[in-house]
Structure 1
């Protein structure tokens, strides 16, 4: 007798309650951080276009540090290479959690967000390369439009006050986590120069010690904080962007709890550092990276020079096409199916929202175009492209708001007031 065909699992369906709770907690933090990030970017833009712009540049370019250790950096570089490492440490922990207990734990559940994220990186890069090569521009910035800024994207959702279903929000979060990993791999592989193998060997040895401390269940921040700083300094002096150290340590941290633990080391670290990352590190990076002089000439350069034009097209068109097409093809040729309560218009709106590229895009832009004269138009293109994507996404999301509100109310209905949404109890009753 032939085996019955396996039922296709619903794509963007109802999440298990523990997973939904973890996602909701992460989204709340990211949303607040996104609003702070938005404020910092606005301050930077205003400051850089006032009579006090010279003061802004002096502060950004002021150097301090320990020259003997190769750490004499400007404030702008300290925020990009130092503080932003906290952001990628938290991103690494989130990625590890997704790999262990989240949407990426099995090939079946990981296929859709991974395929969508990869196509959402490849297609924008192709748009940039095509635009730049056609216009005779530099291909150095091909990676700039690849990454989605999850904090900024969720801040847009918070401002719109939409009732986006939890599963669709989780998809956006997972997509951005994979996106961040892709961005870090690009930085590590393509934007490294003058490698110091002795320093890199020391950083690798430090990561091995970090791993062994985790395996041996050694506790206490006084072990990990000095070791983490040492790994970061060695990674920076090794010629690899120092933020890679943050991701590596985040992936090493254990995210499963032992019997005697209320929280795993990864959960504790994320709980302590997430507010610092979202409320201090990323906004300070934005403050000193988004200060672009805006004039008629600079705005004209965005749409007449091939490099910034490629960035805008990559973010606005490439991201939307890449993520939507990747999601559709994955749902079409795998066992996953779209939740019947959702429409492909919802996925399209989310794909447009993913065109908001800010933090990682600005970082890659600075690495790809170290010359300030070339970096200025590219930064302006990132801001314009992200703003354009946000406006288009806002229009689309507003059109779907009625659907989102209905789904949200159904997901959170609790007629018996026991604190557990009725939809989970209905499923449990049906199973019995």
Structure 2
């Protein structure tokens, strides 16, 4: 979750009322979106590179070294922090990724596209369809198979970095509204994946640790309200929240989301940037260039050979993941959007046609980061590796199919601009 998984999309620089009679100037949303797109595109390329390294390393004569490094444990036994290198990447580094996703989600809900119902309906409906239909398809394909009680959740996620990277590389002439739709959809999709992770993958709940997490989060919210800005308080507090959430039995990435959602997004009068935007500027490059690629390096190293590839198509659960991502995502996003437009609940993004939306729906099948995370959480050992192989294969197929359609649509939009 994306992914694998999960910038501001407001239009011209505009004034938004804050508390009292003050008016805060928001940044130019077009510039914000361009900045976000550039960062995520770069992150997507780094993610692709890390995945390639993981696959080559895991399937080379040094494969045992890869697995030894990934499974090497470090950290104190106190509070169950003796984690493997792979688990540190999954639980700690991805918490940074989800913190940035939480910041973006908060900004979208408060001042972005998702704050205005008319603009928000289509990506929200599309995202819901893109989560429900893949889950239903996966269950239909592999009903009753071992692991499907939680494996159905693997194809519900869309990887924002890869999806935006493919769009930027192949759809530069598409209207900006298409990019806005995809990013808004991915933000809602991230929220859905977060809920799935929180509900399905909470075990051995520790009430005392949970209480510590709640108190620490309340203190964070109070400090935000009091306009405290020093990192000397926030960084240790964030660590306390992460450790408490981890010790409570809830997946630790939820700590990142919670902190992001509690961060202030409206700038005060005379304040250049709200804390959410300032933190996003500082942390997003680390998330895109370090956290997600390192996670991919230790999550994507599955053994790939003729037998394992054939098992993706001959074993029910990985086949369900593959079909859920490639077909379920496309049908779910496009079908739900068509229903919303048909019932006049929403309108197509300005300048965007149904063929454009079909290409964007295909991009929804790029599950990657969050799908790999859910595969690790949902399934043990060999079953997890087969599911991850299906995620990688499905993401590659969805990327290629979307790229073909996007290149065609890119030419069409480029020709219309010349006319």
Q: Is the 8 A contact 2:217 2:241 kept in 1?
A: yes
Asked if residue 56 in structure 1 is aligned to residue 66 in structure 2, the reply is: yes
TM-score by length of structure 2 reads 0.91
Superposed, 1:4-403 pairs within 5 Å as 16-17=11-12, 18-133=28-143, 138-160=148-170, 162-339=172-349, 341-369=351-379, 371-403=380-412
**Offset at residue 170 of structure 1 (A):** 1.1
> Using the alignment, how far apart are the partners of 1:361 and 1:262 within structure 2?
37
Q: Is the 8 A contact 2:122 2:347 kept in 1?
A: no
> Using the alignment, how far apart are the partners of 2:55 and 2:240 within structure 1?
34
**Offset at residue 340 of structure 1 (A):** 6.5
**Offset at residue 404 of structure 1 (A):** 3.2
> Using the alignment, how far apart are the partners of 1:181 and 1:407 within structure 2?
36
**Offset at residue 167 of structure 1 (A):** 1.0
Q: For residue 151 of structure 2, give the secondary structure of its aligned residue in structure 1.
A: coil
> Using the alignment, how far apart are the partners of 1:203 and 1:106 within structure 2?
32
**Offset at residue 21 of structure 1 (A):** 2.3
Q: 1:221 to 1:66 in 2, by over 3 A?
A: same
> Using the alignment, how far apart are the partners of 1:261 and 1:339 within structure 2?
33
> Using the alignment, how far apart are the partners of 1:187 and 1:340 within structure 2?
34
Deviations 1:289-340 (A, max 9, x none): 0001001111111001110000000000000000001111112223533257
TM-score by length of structure 1 reads 0.89
**Offset at residue 136 of structure 1 (A):** 7.5
> Using the alignment, how far apart are the partners of 2:241 and 2:147 within structure 1?
37
Alpha-carbon RMSD: 1.7
**Offset at residue 403 of structure 1 (A):** 2.5
Q: Is the 8 A contact 2:121 2:346 kept in 1?
A: no
Q: Which runs of 5+ in 1 are unaligned?
A: 1-13, 411-432
The structure with more radius of gyration = 1
**Offset at residue 162 of structure 1 (A):** 3.2
Q: For residue 276 of structure 2, give the secondary structure of its aligned residue in structure 1.
A: helix
Deviations 1:12-33 (A, max 9, x none): xx97233322222211111111
Q: 1:70 to 1:267 in 2, by over 3 A?
A: same
Q: 1:71 to 1:340 in 2, by over 3 A?
A: closer
> Using the alignment, how far apart are the partners of 2:11 and 2:255 within structure 1?
32
Q: How many residues align?
A: 396
> Using the alignment, how far apart are the partners of 2:161 and 2:109 within structure 1?
21
> Using the alignment, how far apart are the partners of 2:61 and 2:337 within structure 1?
47
Q: For residue 140 of structure 1, give the secondary structure of its aligned residue in structure 2.
A: helix
Deviations 1:331-356 (A, max 9, x none): 22235332574320000010001100
Q: 1:199 to 1:340 in 2, by over 3 A?
A: closer
**Offset at residue 408 of structure 1 (A):** 6.8
Q: Which runs of 5+ in 2 are unaligned?
A: 1-8, 13-27
